[in-house]
Amino acid sequence: MIDSHTQFLTALAHAGFSVSSVAAIRDQYDSLPSGLAALLLEWIPRLEDRRLQESVTWALLAARSGTLDGAALAELFDAATNDDLKRAIASVINQTRPRNIDGWLIATVRDRRSGASSAIGGLAAAVAKMLPPERAVPVLIEVFHDAPLAAVHPLGKVGDGSVRNVLAAALPTATGPLRRELRQAIARIERRLAKAQRKTRGAMP
C-alpha cells in the first residue's frame, strides 16, 4: 500500500511540482507558486504522520505575503490536535499575512477554549503585524494579562503611551525573561514616542 508521503509527492508531480522530498520544496522554490501553496494546504490534513504535517506546514513560509487562504489555515489550526502543528500554523500566519483571517485571529486569541495557548506567541505576533494598532492593542492587552511573555514583544511594536504605562506597572514584580522583555518593549515604545514628538515639533511653523 502506498503511504501518504508517497501519495503526496506523486500528487505534487502530477500538478507539475516535482520534488524529491518535502524538505526540497523550500530549497526548490524561493517563492511558492499559488497552485503549489493551495496543494500543500489541501494535503496537510490528509497526511498521517504528524512530523510530515509539520514539515509541509513549514514549507508554506515560502508563500508570498497576502497570498495564502486564511480560511484554510484557520480550519487547519482549529482541527489540529498537535501543539507543534498549531505552533507551525501560527508562525505561517504571522510570517505570510494570509487573506481574510483578521476576524478569526482576534476571536481565537481571545477565546481561552480555542486551544491556542500553545501557539499564543505566534498568534499575538500576528495580531501586532496584521491589524492596525487601534484593533491590535486591546486584544494584546487581554493576552498580556493571561500570558504576559507572549504579548509583551508585540505590544512593544505597536503600543502607545498608555501601553507603556501598563508595561511599566508590571515591571517591579517581573522576573527573568519577562523583566528583560518588558524593559525592551518599554524602551522601544519610548523611542517611537520621542521620534513622533520630534517630527511634530519639526513640522511646526
Of the pLDDT bands very low, low, confident and very high (cuts 50, 70, 90), residue 5 is confident
For residue 55, the tally of other CB atoms under 10 A from its CB is 19
pLDDT digits (tens, 9 = 90+) for 52-69: 999 999 999 999 999 999
Q: Within 13 A of 193's CA, how many CA atoms are on the CB side? A: 14
CB 124, CB 149: distance < 8 Å:
no
Of the pLDDT bands very low, low, confident and very high (cuts 50, 70, 90), residue 192 is very high
User: Which distant-in-sequence residues (6+ apart) come within 8 Å of 202 by Cβ?
Assistant: none
> pTM for this structure?
0.88
CB 105, CB 77: distance < 8 Å:
no
CB 177, CB 149: distance < 8 Å:
yes
